[in-house]
Structure 1
Amino acid sequence: MKLGHGGTYDGPGFISGQGYSATEHLANGAGPLIVGACVGTALFAVVVAAATYVCYRKKAKTALQSPGSYHLQHSLKKGPGYKDGKLTGPGGLMFRKTPAVRSPTGGGSGPILKTSPSPTGSKSPPSINTSPTQGGRTVLSGQQPHPPVTKPVVQQHKPTPAESPEAKIERETMLDEKPQRLGELHFRLRYCASKQALFVTINKCCGLPPAKDPAAGSSDPYVKLQLLPDKQHKVKTRVVRKTTNPVYDEDFTFYGVTANQAVTGTLHFVVLSFDRYSRDDVIGEVLCPVAELIDGDTTLHDQERAFVKEIVPRHFKIKSAGRGELLVSLCHQPAANRLTVVILKARNLPKVDDSGLCDPYVKMYLLYNGQRIAKKKTHVKKRTVNPVFNESFVFDVPYNEGLHNLSIELLMLDWDRVTKNEVIGRLELGAKVESGAARQHWSDVCTSPRRQIAEWHKLKE
């Protein structure tokens, strides 16, 4: 059989005349293509199998981590603790994944709750024993049923309303009326006649009451000291933080004190609690005559003596001696809508310390329907209990209102450089006040416009 190119067909697999066999022709032509296709198919199958296995592992891991998932129960192998499609622990204890708490706003992330550090640190409560989590669940060592999960209750402390500057200044430092112990002051005294020096050592305080803030539970106490009656030099100890039994052991020296001054002088200790945001609170005071150092020969020797004195309320003498009187003059000018208040003088003010003196001044407020709308104050009169002020103040009153809804509140205070200015007494003048004399004075001013009317008034607590 003849073929193209001059060859003949001699049988299966041979072509005569050219020297080629069918096998050699297949190997030299389509053979490489077929081999490559087979290898590619095998590689593709391997890649698909690997990808399927990875996807399956990721899906199983996600099912184990998702709370309350149906796949969690079926992805676990059945064993002794697997019953009715649910995993149970020893003694029939059933473990159930707690549902996740989601944000009420529907956001992707839950709310962040900031809590104060636990006083026990990272310790667990003694009634619950836990072990590390296994497979997304917590293994309990006890046999008791799982307690119901309840939402934690967070107690929020409402902020205390901000106190006005006037209220901070005028807030009295008096303690409760009930008798209570304010603690003791331990100190030592020594007088050196040759140097005319009085040496004072403040050792400590014991049994101080806590600060007025109930949440504090303690105080930041310090002691202020001055020598009376001069009342010129004031010294004070350091502040000891968060304690009711502070220890100071600090020495103070008063020079230029003659023997006569030492015998007649008195040491005035004031115990205070430091307040960072307002004037310091007065806890109490101690008065110690230096003459207590005198021995039986009525002479002062260069010797040291220790004292323990009880701390007493600072306002004790004010209550027993009365609060004095104030002379005030008022004048109403209806055409100008003005009220003129003249603070003339005061008399018989109480002795706030053993020197028999105080540093008084008057602060006054104009009130409209009980609300303060204006304020004024006099100058401070130094070291007197019968101050003369003679100061005039003019208040603008509401237009065409008259004086029926107005009143004047006056505060007599004792000025102090270090501590709070203590309120000596109060006085209110107006049409609706309880005091008959004050109400009558106000009525006379209303019925007699453009006329100055002065009256004496007793100061009250």
Structure 2
Amino acid sequence: MGLPADPRSSPASVGTTAESGLIPDLVARIPWPRWALAATAAAAGTLLVAGLLCALCCCCRRSRRRKPRAREAVGLGSARGSTTAHLVQPDVDDVEPSPGGGQQWGRLQLSLEYDFGSQEIRVGLKQAVDLKAGDPGGTADPYACVSLSTQAGHGHETKVHHGTLCPVFDETCSFRVPPAELPQTALRVRVLDFRRFPEPEPLGELSLPLGTMDLRHVLEVWHRLGPPGTAEAEQTSELCFSLRYVPSSGRLTVAVLEARGLRPGPAESYVKVQLVLNQRKWKRRKTSARRNTAAPYFNEAFVFLVPFSQIQNLDLVLAVWSRSPRFRAEPVGKVMLGSRASGQPLQHWADMLAHARQPIARWHRLRPAREVDQALALQSRRRPPLPLPGS
């Protein structure tokens, strides 16, 4: 009789034992104690769980950050619009549309203050919004010109703000107006798009009769700009010339091109070009005369040698003179350029220095000769007297 078969030797029992003993066999082959294996497994599991939690937290934070940023941007924009409308001009939406039809020409913020003691009115140009684009690119280079209807040829020009339809001027100018002339005086503001040549393009105009405003208090309101030509046009005299400077050789070329808006009649006009160095007269030249025309064409160039070390102390003055057969020559107006200038003349001077060796041409409005002379503040060439002996 044979011995009974061992149940552990059957194929089924052998396969089950092999499968159940696979992991223990692998663990038994690792020459580590059981406590070290348990600690390693626990650390690996902890790191895996921590990595998954970190990934979930990062995803949640990104989604939460994106949503509040978008909401905050919308909220700030709406808050700014409501604040400006309610604090500066609550009924800005109730103002009647401008006479330019359905097209909008933008708005301008002004402040007016009249000093009865000095008889001066102070005009503060704050800012402008929603201006008309001056070029196909959808932008403009705006600046503003302020003048009074009773003071032809006298005005103020702000600096040019490049590439914007909402410039912040933040400039103040003053005009002397006696109280008796206030009812007949109108404040005119023109917003222009800066152009190097041939002339600036108007972006909008504004005319405010001072007689209808209560100037006993400081006024700061928004005004709608009208289309160019709505304000009464005033006869202004202008001069067009180009500047070119070469720093290496110190050659300053002034080309007098043409003038317009001069007095018509039997008179002859010419232009004087003068250099002022350190508030003292230095060099001067003169064009030939043109007769019987209100828009003379000169096209004459003058070359001056100005070292680069002296260019910052130099003032360039161009004066248009008119001489009639019965009267002596009188200055029609002057233009001063240099580091002490302001407005468009200062911008022209800066462009000449920034674009060396290139002629920069531009139209300039002539200012009263007395006003330019006061701005120059020329010093006398006379030497001071020698001190007396014993003094």
Higher relative contact order structure (alpha carbons within 8 Å, sequence separation ≥ 6): 2
Name the structure with the higher helix share.
2
Normalized against structure 1, the TM-score is what? 0.31
TM-score (norm 2): 0.36
| Structure (1 or 2) with the larger CA radius of gyration | 1
